Amino acid sequence: MSNDNSCCGRVSPYLLSLLRIVVAILFMQHGAQKLLGYPPGGMKVEHVMTLMGVGGILELVGGAFVLFGILTRPVAFILSGEMAVAYFKVHASGGFWPVQNHGELAVIYCFVFLYFAAAGAGPLSIDALRKKS
């Protein structure tokens, strides 16, 4: 049984916020590669109104919302769905195992965003500030 007065109990909400911030920064890089061609090494989309273009918009803009903790639960739910679609449309045909079909990141992002949709943004977020007022 956990004790909320323990060190871990006091730190856990802040670790949730830290996880949210780090994941969002990493996730936004995928969108920036698709839309802006930066950081180099990814595939820049030619037209925004394609599946990859919409994915890039979701990753960059949705990632920014998650980064700052704005409407975290609904945005994270949408991003979780995007990653599920990405896995099944892009990766699943490459084999059963995610390590085989290079879909590990899509699976991890899917479930981390699903966790944020359930747990919220944590105390270091605009959502938390709005809740206080």
- Assess whether pLDDT exceeds 70 at residue 2: no
Query: For 3, what's the count of Cα atoms within 13 Å in the CB-facing half-sphere?
Result: 3
pLDDT tens digits, residue range 92-103? 999 999 999 999
pLDDT category at 41 given cuts 50, 70, 90 is confident
pLDDT tens digits, residue range 82-92? 999 999 999 99
pLDDT computed for residue 9 by the predictor: 83
Token pair in block for residue 121:
């943004």
- Contacts of 125 by beta carbon, 8 Å cutoff, 6+ apart: 17, 20, 68, 69, 70, 72
Query: For 36, what's the count of Cα atoms within 13 Å in the CB-facing half-sphere?
Result: 11
Percent pLDDT > 70 in the chain is: 96
- Assess whether pLDDT exceeds 70 at residue 3: no
pLDDT computed for residue 8 by the predictor: 78
- Contacts of 128 by beta carbon, 8 Å cutoff, 6+ apart: 69, 121, 122
Domain map (residue ranges) of the chain: 7-126
- Report the predicted TM-score, pTM, of the whole model to 2 decimal places: 0.91
d(CA 29, CA 14): 23
